[in-house]
Structure 1
């Protein structure tokens, strides 16, 4: 089957959990019998994360082949139970460096090298290389930053171009924050509506919206997002704050996210255990999968173990970066 590409962008503000959302979606698709890999795009001129102060960018994760990359890649590895590599991490610096090096080597045949389409084409090439290297059925691509920022425009353009070339193989997901102002006491959808408009300006219409908030989305909010953001009500997924990030795949499956994704690609769940045996791909599963998924029982067992730990464990952490201006980073 052709590789499917799922682009995940963020709306309203950063730090709302795009990385764990991508990792969780990957886990769900893997539980349904598909090969999955994930790519993180960071809109920085830095070639990698190794030279950045962690207070600026978060902790650094080092892949098996020694690449110093964003901490989200670590989440991908843990949730997918796969070793990722340099091919799974893209930065603005790497993209421009590759294009400029090719221009210096006369690889563009003497023509004018332009920001568009040459930079987006390089991004597309790198995403395709990650797909080819892993032979994945699904490639999940997290576009760092927030919709509306200048830094990620070229990556959104790359996503738009892939969709133009392969409309049946591309899906867009927007992870957007829905605030509940303390003085108002009501969940507000307007910031998410604005985020969708900004995404539309980039030539992209989200297929699915993950609504991040302190509490689950209620029916009126889902209906409002559906109407004003031009998505089906079933494609508005509630993503409330929870105790452990490992509960996210289960929460998404309760919202039927996995099946919504498969339906949009005209696919059905498959038996995960047959993938290695049949090489070319897993054998189709006869029945529609619902609830907590076909093979997330092991994941549920992991969550149960985490929640039922009885003995306290003392952990010593040597840290360096704890403060940013007037604020202390509690999770540091």
Structure 2
């Protein structure tokens, strides 16, 4: 029978509940337990698919095509278990389902209310499909006291009573700020946060306290006393150099030991943490450094590219180098010469994106990489812009453009209204809703034998995750290949270009999918491993 761990947050947002949940999941996994992590998001959006990356951060896509919160990316990277659409739920999705049921008459004329109908729906989601797991970790988005989070808080409170004794515990993540003028760490914010939590009927079993310096014993004792938590269950969560240090740090502080004690599991299996120690050692002891320019449009919020930055770091781990990121807004290149920004970098990466803003800057970045033999990695939109650049500069198609930006005489990139997913035809309308109308989730691609990308993968049949509406137009394939750009990967039906490359370039690859979503610290994605290796080679030539 699964045991449940509910992780809540207080004082302020962005304390790292997602990393804490993922790290705890990894620690329990290291002790031999089977874990599942789920995210409960209080916002009214059905999913984050239509939310701005500059506000919400990255949209993480699962194999089954769900657009989810970026924390699911942390869950996958730390545990290696692929997430699915049932691992993330929002208030919007809960309400949408309830209203649909009410319209069908499923409630038999009853007045539909937050309690019990909404809370029951949340509980059903939390409990569903957990038969094969030992622990289910549920992270509640937002902070205690948020109005929109109240149904979720009430639901997990009820679950504490519904489940068997020792079937659930609560971990509360708070902030302990340092007041420089007083020279003190302050416990009061944590006290108030726990008071708010207890006022709705939830008594935390463990306090995970974020701080930028060690918490004195007296202060831990004070929080234990005023928050009604065992002193050993007041766990300090200090800042660390990299997120991959978190599991070891939390184990050192006794988090996993305290969790198992709260469930009455004694003696507990010993953890096997060698691989985490190996990763940490590699990150802190690099044998070199490379600089990668990320030319994008959401550079103001690094979380918009969270999986991407982690995948680059994984590539660095694989090559025993530190990866230094140079964030450049693509709009800069539309007013200035790219050369001063790019001539000293060892690799250029143009990530995914939507819309015309900054597109010409990305095209210029691809052109600089091609002409100066700088390793180039174009992902999704970055591949499309590289294709347009090649068409304009090499194939003589000067009006080459994307219909995403408006009508064009030469639609090198266009909106796909139908495609095959396995044996099923999927269709989208040009005027349809934006949410969930993309090619989403895992699709197969066939790689040309002997191509560089096939050599990198060591295979010709691959599966990767997609998230896009527009596709490169295969009608231009012959003209582009005659100019030197090879279509090395295609969809199994031969209709959709999946990868392009320049065979005579040191490393120039574009992919329509998002390989960063499947990279893990223990299993770096082969494309990122190879890209960083090429950047390392380029650094030796400078």
Question: So what's the TM-score if we normalise by structure 2?
Answer: 0.54
User: Which structure shows the higher strand fraction?
Assistant: 2
1-side partners of 2:42 and 2:71: how far apart?
14
Aligned to 2:197: 199
SS of corresponding position for 2:55: helix
Aligned to 1:156: 153
Map of 1:1-332 to 2, 5 A cutoff?
2-132=1-131, 135-166=132-163, 167-268=165-266, 285=269, 289=270, 294-323=271-300
Q: Kindly state the Cα deviation for residue 109 of structure 1 after the two structures are TM-superposed.
A: 2.5
Q: Kindly state the Cα deviation for residue 52 of structure 1 after the two structures are TM-superposed.
A: 0.2
2-side partners of 1:159 and 1:227: how far apart?
24
More displaced 10-residue stretch of structure 1: 167-176 or 189-198 = 167-176
SS of corresponding position for 1:318: strand
1-side partners of 2:112 and 2:243: how far apart?
43
2-side partners of 1:78 and 1:263: how far apart?
26
Q: Kindly state the Cα deviation for residue 268 of structure 1 after the two structures are TM-superposed.
A: 4.2
SS of corresponding position for 1:33: coil
Gaps of 5+ in 1: 271-284, 325-329
SS of corresponding position for 2:294: coil
Q: Kindly state the Cα deviation for residue 160 of structure 1 after the two structures are TM-superposed.
A: 0.3
Q: Kindly state the Cα deviation for residue 205 of structure 1 after the two structures are TM-superposed.
A: 0.4
Q: Kindly state the Cα deviation for residue 295 of structure 1 after the two structures are TM-superposed.
A: 0.5
Q: Kindly state the Cα deviation for residue 15 of structure 1 after the two structures are TM-superposed.
A: 0.5
Asked which structure has the greater RCO (Cα within 8 Å, sep 6+), the reply is 1
- Contact 1:32–1:269 (Cα < 8 Å) also in 2: no
Question: So what's the TM-score if we normalise by structure 1?
Answer: 0.88
Q: Kindly state the Cα deviation for residue 73 of structure 1 after the two structures are TM-superposed.
A: 0.4
Q: Kindly state the Cα deviation for residue 323 of structure 1 after the two structures are TM-superposed.
A: 4.2
Q: Kindly state the Cα deviation for residue 79 of structure 1 after the two structures are TM-superposed.
A: 0.4
Aligned to 1:282: none
SS of corresponding position for 1:317: strand
1-side partners of 2:247 and 2:219: how far apart?
22
1-side partners of 2:221 and 2:326: how far apart?
35
> Could you list the per-position Cα deviations for residues 18-52 of structure 1 after superposition, in whole angstroms to 9, with x for gaps in the alignment?
10000000001111111101011111111111100
Aligned to 2:470: none
2-side partners of 1:314 and 1:185: how far apart?
38
SS of corresponding position for 2:184: coil
2-side partners of 1:67 and 1:269: how far apart?
39
Q: Kindly state the Cα deviation for residue 110 of structure 1 after the two structures are TM-superposed.
A: 2.4
Runs of at least 4 residues off by over 3 Å: none
SS of corresponding position for 1:112: coil
Task: Tell me which structure has the larger Cα radius of gyration.
Answer: 2
2-side partners of 1:109 and 1:145: how far apart?
34
Pick closer, same or farther for the CA change 1:88–1:96 going to 2, 3 Å. same
1-side partners of 2:326 and 2:85: how far apart?
27
> Could you list the per-position Cα deviations for residues 253-295 of structure 1 after superposition, in whole angstroms to 9, with x for gaps in the alignment?
111211211111122466xxxxxxxxxxxxxx5xxx4xxxx21
- Contact 1:124–1:158 (Cα < 8 Å) also in 2: yes
- Contact 1:262–1:269 (Cα < 8 Å) also in 2: no
> Could you list the per-position Cα deviations for residues 127-150 of structure 1 after superposition, in whole angstroms to 9, with x for gaps in the alignment?
112524xx2111101101111111
1-side partners of 2:177 and 2:141: how far apart?
21
1-side partners of 2:326 and 2:241: how far apart?
14
- Contact 1:210–1:236 (Cα < 8 Å) also in 2: yes
Pick closer, same or farther for the CA change 1:130–1:246 going to 2, 3 Å. farther
1-side partners of 2:326 and 2:160: how far apart?
37
> Could you list the per-position Cα deviations for residues 45-75 of structure 1 after superposition, in whole angstroms to 9, with x for gaps in the alignment?
1111110001211111111111111111000
- Contact 1:10–1:145 (Cα < 8 Å) also in 2: yes
2-side partners of 1:331 and 1:9: how far apart?
34
- Contact 1:225–1:236 (Cα < 8 Å) also in 2: yes
Q: Kindly state the Cα deviation for residue 331 of structure 1 after the two structures are TM-superposed.
A: 11
Q: Let me know the Cα RMSD of the aligned residues.
A: 1.7
